[in-house]
Amino acid sequence: MGRHQPLPEERDVRFGPGADDDGCPILHVDMDAFYASVELRRRPELRGRPVIVGGLGPRGVVSAASYEARKFGVRSAMPMARARRACPHAVYLPPDFEAYSAASRTVMAMFRDVTPLVEPLSVDEAFLDVSGAVRLFGPPTGIAQRLRSRVQAEMGLTCSVGVAPNKFLAKLASTRAKPDGMLVVPRAMVFDFLHPLPVGALWGVGERTAEALRRLGLTLVGDVAQAPAATLRRALGEAVGRHVYELSWGRDPRRVVTDSVEKSIGAETTFDLDVTEPDLLRRALLALSDKASRRLRAAAMVGRTVALKVRFDDFSTVSRSRTLPVPTDVTREVFETAWSLYTILRDSVGSRPVRLIGVRVEGLLGADGQPRQLTLGEPDKGWREADQATDAVAARFGVAALRPASLLRPRDAGMTGRKPGGERDLRSTAQEGPEGGRIEE
């Protein structure tokens, strides 16, 4: 279920903390307005005021909004310009992803103290299977209550929890429990909970699919459940029709998966103003390559393929990729490949204004045991060791403590001159999706 599909906010006592949780081993824990809440934790003087986190440039989007800001219609993924019009008196803050990641690691560790079966979906939400933990910690509702209390006491943050027989129902329940609540879907009351909801509550049903269902006269989940399965397949296609029909009856066989394999790692940036200068684009690609490579090394992974993404001023988007002879996690190798792809693209399409640029490493493998082939004349030690030293400095003093010289702003390098527009153009708009989930990064 996408977060863009709102659900009714009223809470039914039949699904409260005292409901029967027998046969409900799945918890979905969702932090409340996570980015905004982390900011409020270190800025307590802002509590009670509308706070909006996101890209502050003209092309920025909202990453998270406090519940005070949501009363004015501000939502995640909304253009920041629209949010400013809706809530001009709000406090606007740039995102601090390092702080959010650190808070996320602490919260996820709390979850793993209860059960090893934790499946993070993003930095601010996860599924837990507590079927093996009930003998130690009591029933699922008790586990959920203790987790909520611990997160509040130790982190100063609130979360909402759904307790249900499966993942789909648990995620629906946590959404209806927001903010700072818990909702239980007893096995015997699945249809009482599910069937009165609008069709948009079904996971994977977006606006187009919902409109197709409405054309069939199906506005509630219960309507979908009573419709012939063959009708749904004809209207929506075989796979989607079958998927929607199964969910309408509350069926979701997915298990909590603890080891999800990433298929790619990357980063992208949207410029505040369209860029044509090769020097600025080169610096942007270096910064993105550095960011993607650091994430590779942190995950102990290497990748075989480097992909470049370029979106021009007319919103047309082009992708190019190259497979390397040997998998890599070295910043310089990723950057040189990405820059080569861009120069070839520029030679074919010309120096068109660039709105967005991104680097992604694909074909990921575990770094352990991967061969490292030295080219003729290459020193035994070099860029890989430099990356390792940089990572060590960043871990202790922060990412900004040590950067490639070409990414230093003139004042950082002690120079008095400044290339007109350089710093402004290179500074990127935060590209965030619904809170806790980045659109691309």
CATH number at residue 70: 3.40.1170.60
Q: Is 30 annotated as a binding residue?
A: yes
What is the phi/psi pair of residue 435, to 5°?
A: -45, 135
CATH, residue 341: 3.30.1490.100
Instruction: Determine contact, residues 182/161, Cβ cutoff 8 Å.
Output: yes
What is the phi/psi pair of residue 259, to 5°?
A: -115, 95
CATH, residue 221: 1.10.150.20
Does 274 share its domain with 390? yes
Q: Is 104 exposed, middle or buried (0-12, 13-18, 19+ CB in 10 A)?
A: buried
Distance (Å, whole) CA 211 – CA 234: 15
Which amino acid belongs to residue 243?
Answer: H
Q: Which helix (H) or strand (E) holds 355?
A: strand 354-366
Which amino acid belongs to residue 201?
Answer: A
Q: Let me know if residue 441 belongs to a domain.
A: no
Bridge-based pairing state of the strands 26-31 and 125-129: antiparallel
Does 216 share its domain with 276? no
Does 281 share its domain with 340? yes
As annotated, the active-site residues are 125
The confidence score (pLDDT) of residue 425 equals 29
Does 372 share its domain with 295? yes
Q: Let me know if residue 117 belongs to a domain.
A: no
Distance (Å, whole) CA 133 – CA 25: 9
Does 327 share its domain with 206? no
Q: Let me know if residue 201 belongs to a domain.
A: yes
Question: Which domain-ending residue is among 67, 97, 127?
Answer: 97
User: Which residues share a beta bridge with 271?
Assistant: 428
Question: Which domain-ending residue is among 57, 78, 97?
Answer: 97
Which pTM does this prediction carry? 0.70
Q: Let me know if residue 176 belongs to a domain.
A: no
The confidence score (pLDDT) of residue 419 equals 31
Distance (Å, whole) CA 1 – CA 84: 28
Instruction: Determine contact, residues 388/332, Cβ cutoff 8 Å.
Output: no
Does 231 share its domain with 349? no
Q: Let me know if residue 175 belongs to a domain.
A: no
Range of the domain at 314: 264-407
The confidence score (pLDDT) of residue 410 equals 45
Q: What is the mean pLDDT of each run of 10 residues along the chain (441 residues)?
A: 44 83 97 96 95 90 94 93 96 93 94 95 95 93 97 96 97 94 96 96 90 95 95 93 96 88 83 91 95 88 94 92 93 95 92 93 78 48 60 55 55 34 31 33 26
Residues 6+ apart with CB under 8 A from 170: 26, 27, 28, 127, 162, 163, 164, 185
Does 46 share its domain with 70? yes
Does 229 share its domain with 294? no
Q: Let me know if residue 155 belongs to a domain.
A: no
Instruction: Determine contact, residues 54/95, Cβ cutoff 8 Å.
Output: yes
Does 218 share its domain with 291? no
The confidence score (pLDDT) of residue 286 equals 95
77 sits in the region (left: phi over 0; alpha: psi -120 to 50; else beta) called left
Does 203 share its domain with 332? no
Does 228 share its domain with 299? no
Closest CA to 242 of 256, 262, 228, 258: 228
Looking at the structure of the chain, the number of domains it has is: 3
The confidence score (pLDDT) of residue 315 equals 86
Q: How large is the greatest C-alpha to C-alpha distance in the chain, in angstroms?
A: 73
Beta strands in 75-165 (DSSP E): 91-93, 118-122, 125-129, 159-164
Q: Let me know if residue 76 belongs to a domain.
A: yes
Q: Is 180 annotated as a binding residue?
A: no
Q: Let me know if residue 18 belongs to a domain.
A: no
The confidence score (pLDDT) of residue 386 equals 61
Does 314 share its domain with 365? yes
Two structure tokens written together for 61? 């989007």
